[in-house]
Amino acid sequence: MIRKLLLGVIVTLLSFITKQTLGQTSSADTSEQRIAMVHIADAYNTAIGQQSRLYNGPEYELYNPNIKGNAYFQDVNKFSPGTVTYDGLFFKDVPMMYDLNKDVVVVLLYNKFSMYTLLNERLEHFDLFSHHFVNIIADSLQTNAGINAGFYDELYHGNVVVLAKYSKSLQTTSVSNTINTYFSSSKSFFLKKGNNYYSISGQAALLDILKDKKKELQQYIKANKIKYRRAPEEAMVAIAGRYDELSR
């Protein structure tokens, strides 16, 4: 399918070049335009040839529009530019959405209507809306690792790593014999210290894991008026950064 679409694009482009060339009255202008268009075509085909490696996953189907809410990261249900590292190659300005219900990245083909799901095992990491997501694969986890395989927002990366997991699930309710389906959101946090992952339920749990610097961190939290409950992401990043400073 990809090759057919590429062939169609190339044929259309060549047809455009031909029409433009025939419509010219100056041979010099014709030659210059032909050269310019050939360069454009070469650059376009080279870029598409590289990015075509992105489009080798299964086709993606949208959810029933009657479902309340949506499945996507930050509730953005339209394609937005992001970057991905896929099959060891880096791609930028990729139209994409992150489906939190299925935990997959959806990309839009250059024809502007075909949607594909990237294969998780080939997707190393991606960036979307200034968030950096890393793929924690099952093979890298030990038994009882304290974390599941999937994509995690890497909030902080130092000697310790702070991760956030965003999820959405389909829920149903029955009101007056009417069944309503909607997406429910959840969020959880993790800390990686050494080779171990720890689930973080609150500030106390975080400080227990960083207990070798607990007293200093408590002083830092108090002095900087850090409010974990109000902004857990910012609090965890600040505390982890301070911990790294103290551990040098």
pLDDT tens profile 23-33: 444 445 556 65
Least confident range from 10-14, 30-34, 116-120, 168-172: namely 10-14
Q: Would you say the pTM of this structure is higher than 0.85?
A: no
Q: How far apart are CA 21 and CA 31, in angstroms?
A: 8
Judge residue 17's burial from the number of C-beta atoms within 10 Å of its C-beta, 0-12 exposed, 13-18 middle, 19 or more buried.
middle
| pLDDT tens-digit series, residues 127-170 | 999 999 999 987 666 655 678 999 999 999 999 999 999 999 99
Per-residue model confidence (pLDDT) at position 78: 94
Higher pLDDT, 248 or 73: 73
Q: Any idea where the domains of the chain sit in the sequence? A: 33-200, 203-247
In the predicted model, is pLDDT for residue 184 greater than 60? yes
CA pair distance 241, 162, nearest whole angstrom: 10
Any residues with CB less than 8 A from the CB of 144 and at least 6 apart, and which? none
Strand partners, 142: none
Tell me, what's the pLDDT at 56?
A: 77
Report the pLDDT value the prediction gives residue 113, as an integer from 0 to 100: 80
Position 80 scores a pLDDT of 96
pLDDT of 118 reads: 96
